[in-house]
Amino acid sequence: MTINPYHDKRLQWVAYAIFFALLALVPILLDDAFLLNQLSTFGVYGILALSLSLCWGFGGILNLGQGIAFGLGAYGMAMTMQMQSQDIDTNPIPPFMLNNALESLPMIWEPFWNTGTGIFLAVAIPTLYCLIFGALMFQARVSGPFFAIMTLAMLSAFYTVFIDLQPYTNGVNGISPPMPLEVGSLVVDPYSTTSYWIVYAVLLLSTVVAKLLTQSKFGLIVRAQNNDPERVRFLGYNVAVYETLIYAISGCMAALAGMCFTFLTQYVSPSQFDVGFSISIVIWAAIGGRGSLLWAIMGAFIVQGAQSYLGDEFLNTWILILGFFFILVVRFLPGGLAGLVELILGKLPNMSKQQKSPGEKPVDKASLKEA
Amino acid sequence: MDPSVVLSALVLGISIGSIFLVAALGLAIIYGTAGVINMAHGELIMLGAYTTYTLQTFLGVPFFLCLPLSFCIVALVGIAIERLLIQHLYNRPLDTLLATWGVSLVLMQGVRLIFGSDPKYVQLPAFLSTNLDLGIVNVSVFRIFVVLVAALLVFATWYTFYRTRFGIMVRAVTQNKEMAASFGINSGKTYMLTFAIGAGLAGVAGAMFGGLNIVLPTMGMSYVVEAFLMVVSGGGSLLGTILASGFTGQMQSIFAFIFNDTFARFLIFLMVVIFLRFRPQGLIGSGDTRR
């Protein structure tokens, strides 16, 4: 019985290190501001795929509404940035509110005068939402497909409400803050290396936190309840608490991704709550490999990279192909590309000691397929 | 408050409830029998609408004939989906959900490539597009027609599943697949036919919704979430789905009257979440169903 190098913890960390080292080279080698901005956006998608992989691949909680936390974070950031270009004495109300005949700044916008408070709220509100919604659902032992449907329903509800509250959110037009984000004296120009490094740092931090979580005792229980919640309950653990926590941590990461997205694009709209966007997140994680953090990120890079490479005229055909590909992955390769790599590495028993080649990326934690 | 306003809200509630019910009926059957969460249900509804549109526009088939034809054509699509994909995934419920979600993406995109993204319209017979004045309330004849068809479909479904030999077989397979198989019932075939009926019902729903609204490749999405909520909060049974649709339809109508349509929708979703917190098994359903 030989050990699959895929399951070697040290090799996994090596693969992660190589992956992030390569990403760190990008702004040094690249001199195209537009491309850098696009790559930063891919990084945001990577964070999203990672957050879903944590909750779905490890916790078994399929969240079809990951766009909720992402969108709330994005709106929080947009509100903060919008208020930075308003003046409390001369021009206190954003222009779109004036167009919607609002006389004064709504209460919910007041805290966003302060950049620090605004950024804090942009993370805290989505996380709090996940805690409350998760607690409600998981305490009632709603799980599996039913939880997935409820998240989808909530996503749909948020979508309609953000369009409906036109005076507060500018409806379908969304919010486009006129100026880049400023934190203290630091200006986060979306086309600069600064914004790339921020996204890089968030991605690195989320990945390390997620990886450490999965290797901790907490992660063990999360994975155990994925396999058999009833048995974990008999062992005296409160499964609902673990489910809620992993769901909220995943939501918190998605909110961070949403905030990065807003300062990168200087634009946010209800399309962040669109079902199609949340489908994309699931597709990234599924194709990359839901059970592998690194491959989930890679899945986002590959799918979004291919999409932008093919260009807009092929977009409709591309989505069709993507749909077929997604069905095939679910049907024949539930582990995604990560599962494929695991399979190939397992077939190379004698080479396991030389398996450190950087091009191969044999990543990641123990597969979930076996209990 | 003016009694006629209340009455018209009630009548509208019945109409909304019947729409929910028609959308949810096929879903409830498939879920109740095979335990499959069919995320492509909305797109089957959309296919029904496009079938009706195509039959009407290119072949000149009258609207009333389009309803049964939509049933048959979409049922065939349902059989294809079941044979090619779902029959391999019956023991992986979360993956069935994902796979059918992929199917919904493919169907939506396929229809968009063929018909384009611009809205299409289903022509209704002249007498259905008129309004009926009942003295205090004024309702469109087509909405009454939808209520009648909903009642008819419920009766036909009930009859099929509770009064025919096929229905006994379906219920036997639902209760205990192995035991049913040992009595010579082909469970694979039973699932397939049930799936076909569920898909066909979505087709009829689509044919009617085409008359109610514009026909778009994305139209399925707007019905499917509500349909799921009806099935989940109803507990997956036929009666539960009927009750949930009727009740939610009324609530939607009342909330829409007090606030507005979208906020009413939000409130309904919130109510379902809170309802499930205290009654996760739904309105009707034993505590330990598939969950």
Residues of B in contact with A154 (CB under 8 A): 269, 273
Task: Note the pLDDT tens digit of each residue in A229-239.
Answer: 999 999 999 99
What confidence score (pLDDT) does residue A349 get?
A: 64
Question: Cβ of B80 under 8 Å from any chain A Cβ?
Answer: no
Task: Note the pLDDT tens digit of each residue in A141-182.
Answer: 887 888 888 898 899 889 988 988 888 888 888 888 888 888
Question: Cβ of A136 under 8 Å from any chain B Cβ?
Answer: yes
Answer whether B256's CB lies under 8 Å from B248's CB. Answer: no
Mean pLDDT of chain A: 86
What confidence score (pLDDT) does residue B212 get?
A: 87
pLDDT above 50: residue A281: yes
> For the residues A318-340, what does the mean pLDDT come to?
89
The ranges assigned to domains in chain A are 5-354
What confidence score (pLDDT) does residue B285 get?
A: 61
Whole-number Cα distances in Å, A116 to A76, A100, A183, B203: 11, 28, 8, 53
> From the list A139, A316, A323, which residue is nearest B102 (CB)?
A323
State whether residue A235 is helix, strand or coil.
Answer: coil
Pick from B286, B45, B41, B283: which is nearest to A149 by CA?
A: B41
Distance to chain A for B38, nearest Cα, Å: 10
Pick from A165, A134, A113, A123: which is nearest to A270 by CA?
A: A165
Distance to chain A for B247, nearest Cα, Å: 18
Cβ within 8 Å of residue A101, ≥6 positions away: A167
The ranges assigned to domains in chain B are 3-278
Q: Which residues of chain B have pLDDT under 50?
A: 287-291
Backbone angles phi, psi at A32, to 5 degrees: -120, 110
Best B88, B94, B248 member to test A by mutation, with max A CBs in 10 Å, is B94
Please answer yes or no on whether A161 and B266 come within 8 Å at the CB atom.
Answer: yes
Residue in chain A nearest B232 by alpha carbon? A146
Amino acid at B100: T
What confidence score (pLDDT) does residue A365 get?
A: 42
- How does residue A350 score in pLDDT terms, banded at 50, 70 and 90? low
> What is the spatial distance between Cα B222 and Cα A329, in angstroms, rounded to a whole number?
27
> For the residues A199-208, what does the mean pLDDT come to?
94
Structure token pair of residue A253: 């990461």
What confidence score (pLDDT) does residue A361 get?
A: 44
Structure token pair of residue A167: 């005076």
Q: Which residue has the tokens 């990359």?
A: A288
Tell me whether strands A181-183 and A186-188 are parallel, antiparallel or unpaired: antiparallel
Please answer yes or no on whether A142 and B262 come within 8 Å at the CB atom.
Answer: no
Please answer yes or no on whether A322 and B266 come within 8 Å at the CB atom.
Answer: no
Q: What is the dihedral of CA A72, A73, A78, A81, to 10 degrees?
A: 140
Residue in chain A nearest B85 by alpha carbon? A331
pLDDT above 60: residue A321: yes
- What is the b/e burial string over B85-99, where b = at least 16 CB atoms within 10 angstroms of the residue's CB? bbeebbeebbbbbbb
Please answer yes or no on whether B273 and A136 come within 8 Å at the CB atom.
Answer: yes
What confidence score (pLDDT) does residue A364 get?
A: 44
> What is the spatial distance between Cα A206 and Cα A250, in angstroms, rounded to a whole number?
9
> What is the spatial distance between Cα A268 and Cα A111, in angstroms, rounded to a whole number?
19
Residues of B in contact with A327 (CB under 8 A): 85, 99, 102-103, 106
Is the pLDDT higher at A82 or at B132?
Answer: A82
Answer whether B198's CB lies under 8 Å from B190's CB. Answer: no
Please answer yes or no on whether A140 and B93 come within 8 Å at the CB atom.
Answer: no
| CB interface of A with B, residues 252-311, below 8 Å | 275, 279, 282, 286
Task: Note the pLDDT tens digit of each residue in A9-59.
Answer: 888 888 899 999 998 888 888 878 888 999 999 999 999 999 999 999 999
Distance to chain B for A282, nearest Cα, Å: 9
Distance to chain A for B153, nearest Cα, Å: 25
> What is the spatial distance between Cα B190 and Cα B28, in angstroms, rounded to a whole number?
16
pLDDT cut 90: percent of chain A above it? 43
Residues of A in contact with B97 (CB under 8 A): 62, 145, 148
Residues of A in contact with B20 (CB under 8 A): none
Q: How many CA atoms lie within 13 A of A64 on its CB side?
A: 26
CATH of B3-278 among 3.90.550, 1.20.140, 1.10.3470, 3.40.190: 1.10.3470
> For the residues A232-258, what does the mean pLDDT come to?
95
Task: Annotate A124-185 with DSSP letters as a single string.
Answer: HHHHHHHHHHHHHHHHTT--HHHHHHHHHHHHHHHHHHHHH-HHHH-GGG-B--SS-EEETT
Give me the interface pTM, i.e. the ipTM: 0.86
Residues of B in contact with A334 (CB under 8 A): 92, 95
Distance to chain A for B133, nearest Cα, Å: 32
> From the list B37, B88, B105, which residue is nearest A319 (CB)?
B105
